[in-house]
Each structure stands twice: as C-alpha cells, then as structure tokens.
Amino acid sequence: DGLKSLENFMKTAHSGRADFTQIVTAPPKDGQAQRPKQSSGSFAFQRPGRFKFVYQKPFEQTIVADGQTLWLYDVDLNQVTQRAQAQALGSTPAALLASAPDMAALRADYALEAAPEQDGLQWVQATPKARDGQLKSVRVGFEGDKLAALDILDSFGQRSQIRFTGMQLNPALPAGSFQFKPPAGADLLKP
Amino acid sequence: CAQPPRPASGAADHWSGRLALQIEDASAQSFSAGFELQGSPDAGALTLFNPLGNIIAELQWTPGRAILNNGGEQRQSASLQTLVQALTGSELPIAALFGWLKGEPVQAAGWQADLSALDKGRLTATRHQPAPQAVLRVILSL
C-alpha cells in the first residue's frame, strides 16, 4: 500500500531526478471556477536537505536548496532571493519528501496514513501537524517505490497537483548539482 | 502612449504576474511574490503566491474596509494601506498601480512610474521619497 511505498522510497531513494508538470487551481471566486495554471520543469533531490526545482514554463525560475540556504532565481526579474532553508520553503511537501533524512523526520511534520489506490498509483494521506500551517491536506502518490505525484490543498482552498515523470532513483548527479552561485549583475535580496 | 496588455481574463480588471519591491541598502525589507490583482482601487483583491504556486496571503477591500487573510489568521482594518504595509512591509501605491497597469501615468506621492515597456508586460516604479529609495518591478504574465 501507499505507506509501504513511502517507507521504501524514503529508505532506498538517496537521490533522484525527474521532470514535472504542475497544475494549480485557485478556489472558485464568487461561484466562478478559476482557470487552472500549468507550469513544468525538472526536479532533483539528494538526502539530506538538498533539492532543486527548475521551472521552464510559463517562465524561467530556479529554486535550489543546498542544505543551509534556499536560493530563488527569477530570470525575468534578474533577481536572486536568499533565505535560510529551515524556515523558508523547506517545509513544502515536495521538499520534505525529497530531503527529509528518514520517516521519523516526516512523521514530525505530518500524520501519515495509507489512502486508497487511484489513477494506478498508491497513495498516502499526509495531514500537516502544524495547526496554523498553510496546508490543509497533502496526498502523495507512488508508482511502486517511485514518487509519482503530489496533490496539495492549501488553507485558501487552492489545489496544486504535481506529476513527476521519468523519475530516476539514485542517478549519478554531477558534483555541485545543488550549489547555486548568483549570476553576475543579478539583484540579491535577503528578506 | 504604450498600449496596455489586455486584462488577463477579460473580467473587469485582472492582472497576474510577479512583483518585486527592492529597498535600497535594506534588502531585508525587500519583497517579491507572484500576484493576482483584480477589481479597482475602491473594491478589489490582491492575492500573493510563493514560487511554488501556493497562496501566501489574500487582501480584499471595499470602500472603508480591508481584510488580510494569510491562511492562519485574518486581520481587518478601515485602511487598505495599513494592511498593504503589514503584508509587504512597505507602502505600495495600490490605487496608482491600477492606473499604471492600464497605461495611465497616475501620480503617486514620491513615486515615479516608467510605463514605456508595458506592452512587453513590464512596469517599473521608483519611490524617491520618503527615503530609503525603493524600486517596484512588475512582470505581467501576458
């Protein structure tokens, strides 16, 4: 079931790489359904604490967590935002699943239970323990032991569905895959 | 003057994209987020998103009443500016922003807007007073 897949994924996947597409559907506004927004790019991770989202569409944006610092580079704005990883995006589901060292670390932030199979994937329901958190519910989908999908509902009622394709577990990642050096001339923000 | 981009979904006025506010020599107060802005200076809504697409906060206002919801708690105020300051850490000229995005050179005390690249979905506004200088950059998703 989903929990077994999650446990195997956490135990066996020390690193990984995949392409992703993300569909974000905002809550209906005065009864009117909102147009879903789609984005896509590539995702990589290495335990503990390192991950990287490279968005290519609809605009170029790179998010890199090097273990201490979270870097966000917005190409159009030519701007790099640097934050301590712990309190920034570090706790988002994708980041947590990819960079948490083990199940115990996951259980610290989420109550985990198996959920019914759907769309050919095994699912885990992860309910955030943080009371005032931004997220209402997170569902994690597996294809065997490979992370395949995330379905996130935030406390505003916005739904974000991420689908990973071509997931390779424990690939040979080039050295420095999770290092980030701000490009020359880019503005550096440290909010 | 530059022909402003058609509002995203044809609804009243609705823009979405990314905005960044950089405060000179105090980059700790700088701010950047994805956004959706709709309605008008009198009655509208500003939604802010983090880079992964999650909503950070929603600010809604009608004449004399503004509500800031950041997912955890909700704050109300008679002044939209008070909540804009609470949300972004700075005074953002929301009323002027509506005009600028439509290509109208609206005056905002202390601010100077550059609408020349609006047809490419880019707007830059600089706050000369009060110090420190701040630069607001907006990139619209066309």
Q: Which residues of A15-50 are buried (b: 16+ CB within 10 A; e: fewer)?
A: bbbbebebbbbbeeeeeeeeeebebbbbbbbbbebb
Q: Determine the Cα–Cα distance for residues A54 and A64; give it in Å rounded to an integer.
A: 8
- What burial class does residue A69 get, using C-beta atoms within 10 Å of its C-beta: 0-12 exposed, 13-18 middle, 19+ buried? middle
Residue B59 parent element (H or E): strand B55-62
Task: Give every CB contact of residue B83 below 8 A, 6+ residues apart in sequence.
Answer: B59, B61, B66, B67, B68, B75, B77
Greatest mean pLDDT range, A81-85, A102-106, A145-149: A145-149
Q: How close B60 gets to chain A, by Cα (Å)? A: 12
Percent of chain A with pLDDT over 70: 96
| pLDDT tens track for A30-66 | 788 888 999 999 999 999 889 999 999 889 999 999 9
The answer to whether the Cα torsion of B34, A136, A49, A13 is positive or negative is negative
Q: Determine the Cα–Cα distance for residues B127 and B72; give it in Å rounded to an integer.
A: 31
Percent of chain B with pLDDT over 70: 89
| pLDDT tens track for B87-111 | 888 889 999 999 999 999 999 999 9
Mean pLDDT of chain B: 88
Establish whether this prediction's ipTM goes over 0.95.
Answer: no
Q: A92 to chain B: which residues are within 8 Å by CB?
A: 52, 54
Q: A188 to chain B: which residues are within 8 Å by CB?
A: 27
Q: Does A91 touch chain B (CB under 8 A)?
A: no
Per the CB < 8 A criterion, the answer to whether A160 and B52 are in contact is yes
Structure pTM?
A: 0.85
Task: Give every CB contact of residue A151 below 8 A, 6+ residues apart in sequence.
Answer: A138, A139, A141, A159, A160, A161
Instruction: Report residue A182 as tokens.
Output: 């701000």
Phi, psi at A67, each rounded to 5° = 110, -35
State the CB neighbour count (10 A cutoff) for residue A113. Answer: 13
- pLDDT grade, residue A156 (50/70/90)? confident
Q: How close B96 gets to chain A, by Cα (Å)? A: 21
Tell me which of B54, B70, B140, B142 to substitute to probe the interface with A (most A C-beta atoms closer than 10 Å): B54
Which chain A residue is nearest to residue B8, measuring alpha carbons? A35
Q: How far is CA B94 from CA A148, B38, B88, in A?
A: 41, 11, 12
In 3D space, the residue among B10, B77, B75, B68 whose CA is nearest the CA of residue B38 turns out to be B10
**Measured between CB atoms, which of A22, A35, A187 is closest to B22?**
A187
Specify the residue for token string 């105090």. Answer: B26
